[in-house]
Amino acid sequence: MTQSIRWLQYEIADRMLQKLDIVKLQAKDILIIPDFPGVHTSFLRNRFPKASLHTAPELRMTAVEAYRYKASRMLDAVLSFFRFGSTVSLDSYRKTGKLDLPDNSIDLIFSDLFLQDLPDPKHFLKECWRVLREGGLLTFSYLGPDTGKELKSIDWPKEYFLKNLLSPWDMHDLGDALIGEGFSDPVMDMEFINLTYESDATALTDAKNLGLIQAPSNSATSSILPKLSDRLTLEVVYGHAWAIGKHLAKAQDHVAYIDLNQIQRKSGRDPA
């Protein structure tokens, strides 16, 4: 996402928070990935006043946004009574595939419009499973494969290239992947948001910022563009799932392995 599409992140974060408001969860450590100056931080801070907020700041922030982000982190340090959360590097995750967090260290992961930018969302789910504590919750949103479907019917000049989202998974694909990674009780839903435009230039700008099209940097070429649709569809997928039974036996190659911590010594005598 880019700063110019930040309004969409704000809107989807607000809808996610409404869904989260009815979830019963005691969270001591929360990961926000990606984090950007917006309503989600203050909401989570108020909802879980004793929690440490671990944040993965957006790589592309304006100077004003970066200042607001630092100010928010300073406030977190004051309000958390020295339970100040860590900063997780998105750049490091993209390079190494690892979140800079220990195993079983997070109770809630809040991820707004991130999965569609990952080439392998299943790996992200693995990392979420790793860092979540037993009984922890992953809640997320992302753009589904029908996003920008109107662009596919346009005869684009050779200077323009339509781009598929890195993660073309629909909500059924993601639901199956959650179960495959061991998550429990996944809940998925989807909605279409229709954007309408008064000018082709605005529609083209949003399509570029959403990562749906690669356009030449020379604006003079815009004169050769065909007429664009005055509507752009966004398929927004929402989901959440629980990390339950992390220490139960798992089968590998049809052989069940049991964690030694699950084996308890029997005390006392059996009744006669």
108 in a structural domain: yes
268 in a structural domain: no
Determine the pLDDT at residue 249. Answer: 52
242 in a structural domain: yes
Determine the pLDDT at residue 42. Answer: 82
More confident residue, 106 or 264: 106
- Return the percentage of the chain with pLDDT > 70, whole number: 76
Give the mean model confidence (pLDDT) for residues 201-218. 82
pTM (2 d.p.): 0.81
Beta-sheet pairing, 213-214 with 161-162:
antiparallel
Single out the residue of 144, 168, 164 nearest to residue 239, CA to CA.
144
What angle separates helix 39-47 from helix 63-79, to the nearest 10 degrees?
10
- 265: pLDDT strictly greater than 50: no
60 in a structural domain: yes
Determine the pLDDT at residue 250. Answer: 53
CA gap 88, 91 in Å, rounded: 9
Determine the pLDDT at residue 66. Answer: 59
66 in a structural domain: yes
257 in a structural domain: yes
Q: In this predicted model, what pLDDT tens digit does every residue of 103-158 receive, in sequence order?
A: 999 999 999 999 998 888 999 999 999 999 999 999 999 999 999 999 888 888 77
Cis peptide before 34 (omega within 30 of 0): yes
20 in a structural domain: yes
Angle at 28 between CA 26 and CA 32, to 5 degrees: 100
Count Cα neighbours of 189 within 13 Å in the Cβ-side half-sphere: 5
Range of the domain at 63: 3-155+164-199+230-262
More confident residue, 257 or 171: 171
Determine the pLDDT at residue 62. Answer: 61
211 in a structural domain: no
How many folded domains does the chain comprise?
1
Beta-sheet pairing, 250-252 with 255-257:
antiparallel
More confident residue, 41 or 258: 41
Determine the pLDDT at residue 271. Answer: 46
pLDDT band at 98 (very low <50, low <70, confident <90, very high): very high
Check which CATH number belongs to the domain holding 258 and give it.
Answer: 3.40.50.150
- What residues contact 236, with CB distance under 8 A and at least 6 apart? 12, 141, 142, 143, 144, 190, 191, 192, 193
pLDDT band at 263 (very low <50, low <70, confident <90, very high): very low
